[in-house]
Structure 1
Amino acid sequence: MILGAADFLGDWRITREISDFRLRDSGRLEGLARFTAEGDGLRYHESGTLRFAGGAPIRAERGYLWHFTDTDVQVAHADGAPFHSFARTGEPEATPHLCGEDLYRGTYDFSAFPDWQVTWEVQGPRKDYRSVTRYRRA
């Protein structure tokens, strides 16, 4: 199955499980993600509440731009700075992304679409965590 921009348009409930190996802590984000058409791609915006064990709830937001080509999806930060890309077929792995000295490796799983998920493994001198974000139509 090859998914296109129209498949993602609209609202998605999200849950994100975060395992911080450096701090030996875990957190959970619950919120909403929205894909809207923008130019020849999509704008992604998410907002939610993040809770770590014993901590106060934190309001969290982020945004990206998705551009679809014949073979892949190119993902940029909300300001247009490149982030990663992933193939539109097979088991899409994100191209590795170096942020400072921390390396981000991601995998997308669309096998149960319209339910889908993204897993990020981040390792480096400042970060060592895994996050799994699950998406379900709102």
Structure 2
Amino acid sequence: MTRQLSDFIGLWTISRHIDDRRVASGMGAARLVGTCDFTVCAEGLMQDEQGLLSVPGVDTPFEAARRYMWRADAALISVFFDDGRYFHSFDPNQAHPEADHDCTPDRYEVRYDFSEWPIWRARWRVTGPRKDYVSVTTYRKSA
């Protein structure tokens, strides 16, 4: 199957598990449940994620949000922070494309999984002096 930028347009439900390896074992992983909306913008697609984040040891979940811009670059999709800075690029036609981003002193490594499209996943491994976690998000197209 050939995927292109326009295949991501629309509303997706998301479920994210965050395993922070700095937290003592037995505390459990943080969870985010929410939505991801890809809307058309002048540069490509705007990705808006919103959800409720539940953190071990915190009684009340809190709202979390993030925003990126996706742009078609030849056969790749390039992802930018909402302020226009480059983040990473990937080939949406690979089953498991990988990319990384150095944000000194931290390193972000992503592996996408499109093998069950239109269900897909993004697995982030983040390391640095104060960061050591794995975040896995599952995206499911809303009806």
Please give the TM-score of this superposition, normalised by the length of structure 1. 0.94
- Structure 1 position 93 matched with structure 2 position 98: yes
Report what 1:12 is aligned to: 12
| Runs of 4+, deviation exceeding 3 Å | none
Report what 1:50 is aligned to: 53
SS of residue paired to 1:111 = strand
Alpha-carbon shift at residue 17 of structure 1 (Å)? 0.2
Task: Provide the rounded CA distance (Å) in 1 between the counterparts of 2:52 and 2:92.
Answer: 30
Find the partner of 1:34 among 31, 37, 45: 37
- Structure 1 position 108 matched with structure 2 position 112: yes
Task: Provide the rounded CA distance (Å) in 1 between the counterparts of 2:57 and 2:23.
Answer: 13
Task: Provide the rounded CA distance (Å) in 2 between the counterparts of 1:88 and 1:137.
Answer: 16
Report what 2:3 is aligned to: 3
Please give the TM-score of this superposition, normalised by the length of structure 2. 0.91
**Matched residue count:** 137
The question of whether the paired residues in 1 share the 8 Å contact of 2:5 and 2:77 is answered with no
Alpha-carbon shift at residue 70 of structure 1 (Å)? 2.1
- Structure 1 position 119 matched with structure 2 position 123: yes
Q: Determine what percentage of the aligned residue pairs are the same residue.
A: 43
Write the deviation string for residues 59-94 of structure 1: whole angstroms up to 9, x where unpaired.
100000001122211000111111111123322102
Name stretches of at least 5 consecutive residues in structure 1 with no aligned partner: none
SS of residue paired to 2:23 = coil
Task: Provide the rounded CA distance (Å) in 2 between the counterparts of 1:116 and 1:10.
Answer: 14
Question: What is the aligned-residue RMSD (CA, Å)?
Answer: 1.2
Alpha-carbon shift at residue 125 of structure 1 (Å)? 0.3
Amino acid at match of 1:48: G
